[in-house]
Amino acid sequence: MENETKLMSVRDAVIMAMSEEMRRDENVFLMGEDVGIFGGDFGTSVGMLEEFGKERVRDTPISENAISGCAIGAAMTGMRPIVDVTFMDFIVYMMDNIVNQAAKTRYMFGGKGQIPVVFRCAAGSGVGSAAQHSQSLEAWFTHIPGLKVVAPGTPADVKGLLKAAIRDNNPVIFLEYKAQYNMKGEVPLDPDFVLPLGKAEIKREGNDVTVVTYGRMLERVLKAADELAESDGVHVEVVDLRTLAPLDKETVLESVKKTGRVLLVNDAHKTGGFIGEVAAMIAESDAFDYLDSPILRLAADDIPTPYNHLLETAMVPSVERIKKYILKLVNKR
């Protein structure tokens, strides 16, 4: 089984990761609205109640404040809760518990108190959920010391990074993109397949331009890179951050030095988005001296997400827009 893989969706990779960790450690449990009998609002816990029972797959009241408080308290006393936040927008109701309690407790007690809790967030637009259910709020949490923020973009990375997040002794915000729950890819079946937090990956090598991205946009960036290689002979290096906090700065900077051009892409709003932090990090480093063109950012428009499908699609970077920005950097068009 060590090298075996199976074609599966992001949804199934989430279920596999949680189930493997719950079999491995009796202190791991899942909690949230509709995670039990219903199998999760996005189907990400189907079958788990039958295997693990209602004590470890716990349906909760509709109160995000209560859910987060109970989870953090459980983590403080030795349990390892996984919280299904469902729509990431609902994490707003959990902010005080996460930001003022979970993120700071270990530091305030000199490392003696651990908070091993994972908040799984269904993020992003693309499924017609409108303005109050379509946000990517990862930048808020990268601003808070003590929190780890993870945003995988492939089914395999979802499995490996979710398992790492569950094993971590710090609070982790884990993004799962609603529009990609059905996306399929090869996923290792090995229960020991765990990817390190804080390590980016070069998903595609190239010499002409670096594109740094994460999460949902990775699939579009890779498609744009493949098409440009065929149509224009432009060879794009794609850096998948995977973890935003802690950030793998070395991998990003080495790629920028290699290509001399960089485009940063995410599906969150442009103003205050995390890619702005990446741009500042590049500008403040010695990689800045290697740049042959200004740093470019491509992100979602600064508007609430429309319900209308065509408007929703238009506000987020498309493959064609990504290609246009890359060609601008290499002065092809």
195 lies in some domain: no
196 lies in some domain: no
pLDDT at 1 over 90: no
Give the residue from 153, 188, 223 where a domain finishes.
188
Give pLDDT, residue 333. Answer: 52
Do residue 133 and residue 52 come from a single domain?
A: yes
What pTM value is reported for the model? Answer: 0.96
Domain of 155, CATH number, reads 3.40.50.970
The alpha helices in the chain, defined as continuous H runs, are 10-24, 48-52, 64-76, 95, 103-108, 138-142, 155-167, 217-231, 249-259, 274-283, 309-315, 319-329
* Of residues 152, 161, 27, 144, the one with CA closest to residue 97: 144
Do residue 228 and residue 282 come from a single domain?
A: yes
Cβ atoms within 10 Å of 202's Cβ, excluding its own? 15
Contacts of 167 (CB under 8 A, 6+ apart): 21, 116, 194
Do residue 145 and residue 207 come from a single domain?
A: no
pLDDT at 331 over 90: no
171 lies in some domain: yes
Angle of CA points 58, 63, 66, to nearest 5°: 75
Do residue 162 and residue 249 come from a single domain?
A: no
Give pLDDT, residue 205. Answer: 98
193 lies in some domain: no
pLDDT at 112 over 90: no
* Of residues 68, 65, 46, 66, the one with CA closest to residue 57: 46
Tell me the two tokens of residue 141.
Answer: 């949490």
Cβ atoms within 10 Å of 244's Cβ, excluding its own? 27
Catalytic residue among 133, 235, 269, 309: 133
Query: pLDDT digits over 292-312, tens only?
Result: 999 999 999 999 999 999 999
Give me the mean pLDDT over the 122-138 stretch: 96
Give me the mean pLDDT over the 89-100 stretch: 97
Do residue 23 and residue 160 come from a single domain?
A: yes
Do residue 89 and residue 11 come from a single domain?
A: yes
pLDDT at 93 over 90: yes
* Of residues 100, 167, 135, the one with CA closest to residue 273: 135
Read off the pLDDT band of 332 (50, 70, 90).
low
Contacts of 151 (CB under 8 A, 6+ apart): 123, 138, 175, 214, 215, 241, 242, 243, 244
Do residue 70 and residue 172 come from a single domain?
A: yes
Read off the pLDDT band of 85 (50, 70, 90).
very high
Give me the mean pLDDT over the 227-245 stretch: 97
The number of distinct structural domains making up the chain is 2
Do residue 31 and residue 177 come from a single domain?
A: yes
Q: Which helix (H) or strand (E) holds 202?
A: strand 201-204
Query: pLDDT digits over 255-269, tens only?
Result: 999 999 999 999 999
Domain of 221, CATH number, reads 3.40.50.920
Give me the mean pLDDT over the 117-126 stretch: 97
Give the residue from 166, 188, 210 where a domain finishes.
188
267 lies in some domain: yes
Give me the mean pLDDT over the 324-331 stretch: 94
Q: Name the residue type at position 235.
A: H
Do residue 144 and residue 208 come from a single domain?
A: no
Q: Kindly report the average pLDDT of the chain as a whole number.
A: 97
194 lies in some domain: no
Do residue 247 and residue 283 come from a single domain?
A: yes
Give the residue from 188, 215, 250 where a domain finishes.
188
Query: pLDDT digits over 144-161, tens only?
Result: 999 999 999 999 999 999
Q: Does residue 314 contact residue 305 with C-beta atoms inside 8 Å?
A: no
Do residue 207 and residue 170 come from a single domain?
A: no
Q: Is 133 noted as a catalytic residue in this protein?
A: yes
Give me the mean pLDDT over the 19-47 stretch: 97
47 lies in some domain: yes
Do residue 151 and residue 249 come from a single domain?
A: no
Give pLDDT, residue 86. Answer: 96
Range of the domain at 292: 201-329
66 lies in some domain: yes
Cβ atoms within 10 Å of 172's Cβ, excluding its own? 28
* Of residues 309, 313, 310, the one with CA closest to residue 301: 313
